Amino acid sequence: MLTGNFGVSPGTKRPVLNEFLTLFPATVELALCAIILATAVGVPAGVLAAVRRGSWLDQGTMGVALTGYSMPIFWWGLLLIMFFSSYLGWTPVSGRIALNFFLRPITGFMTIDSLLYGNWPAFVSALRHLILPTVVLATIPLAVIARQTRSAMLEVLGEDYVRTARAKGLSPKRVVNVHALRNALIPVVTTIGLQVGALMAGAILTETIFPRPGIGKWMIESILKRDYPVVQSGLLLIALIIMAVNLIVDVLYAAINPRIRVR
């Protein structure tokens, strides 16, 4: 059970909240990079697939998305480690930054802290340590966002106002980007918000495969040690994060669709 000082772990004798806040930036940094990558690739891929419905581009994009959605994270991560780290030697396997760099935490984000200190080699090292975990963690959300974007776009492209915009002689790019995409963003934004829970669950496996100090690895170690106050407190805090993100998504609805704001 959670204790009065927010779950003091009997094994570590440290408040769980302090330990959580220390590791929290590492997981948030990874999750933010993953959701940015998933959104930046998934939304354009879904739009292109919808616009070119039935073409080889549509079938290929959705085939890759289905493959990515079905990919086990642990297996996909090990494949990337074997190829890019072991065989090619392009990326490091573990950690957040090379051992020869020491940065006193300011924000807790290695990439931001290295820029604040003006240490460009440290920034490059932090980015190289982020590449593979970000790709692995973003794979499933990317596939989900691409498929949802395609579905929403196909529904919107058949509406009367889109046909009217085309009949008025507007360019195809303006019809797709202004009239269709904006009205299709509500379900897409909802999907992106729901993927935060998947990112938190995926971070547990990702931070275990690529040994990174973060909430996921911390909770796995606590489960193995049967440190129940840590597990309970960590789950509670993750649930609060997911609730906060979904609240932000609800607020974004009004920015995307002014009619919601009026209601």
* pLDDT value at residue 45: 92
> Which residue shows structure tokens 């106002």?
161
pTM tops 0.95: no
- Enter the DSSP assignment of 109: -
Give the number of other Cβ atoms within 10 Å of residue 122's Cβ. 21
SS (H, E, C) the chain: CCCCCCCECCCCCCEHHHHHHHHHHHHHHHHHHHHHHHHHHHHHHHHHHHHCCCCHHHHHHHHHHHHHHHCCHHHHHHHHHHHHHHHCCCCCCCCCCCCCCCCCCCCCCHHHHHHHCCCHHHHHHHHHHHHHHHHHHHHHHHHHHHHHHHHHHHHHHCCHHHHHHHHCCCCHHHHHHHHHHHHHHHHHHHHHHHHHHHHHHHHHHHHHHCCCCCHHHHHHHHHHCCCHHHHHHHHHHHHHHHHHHHHHHHHHHHHHCHHHHHC
Residue 8, strand partner residues? 15
Residue 103: name the closest of 134, 125, 70 by CA: 125
Left, alpha or beta for 13 (phi > 0: left; psi -120 to 50: alpha)?
left
- The tens digit of pLDDT for each residue in 128-179 reads 989 999 999 999 899 999 999 999 888 888 888 888 888 887 777 888 887 7
- The tens digit of pLDDT for each residue in 177-230 reads 877 888 888 888 888 888 877 787 677 788 888 888 888 788 888 888 888 887
Q: What is the dihedral of CA 87, 90, 93, 99, to 10 degrees?
A: 130
Output b/e per residue, 143-162; b: 16+ Cβ within 10 A.
Answer: bbbbbbbbbbbbebbeeeeb
Q: Which of 98-107, 187-196, 250-259 has the lowest mean pLDDT?
A: 250-259
* pLDDT value at residue 4: 41
* pLDDT value at residue 261: 60
* pLDDT value at residue 5: 44
Output the CATH code of domain 16-262.
1.10.3720.10
- The tens digit of pLDDT for each residue in 68-92 reads 888 888 888 889 999 998 888 888 8
* pLDDT value at residue 195: 82
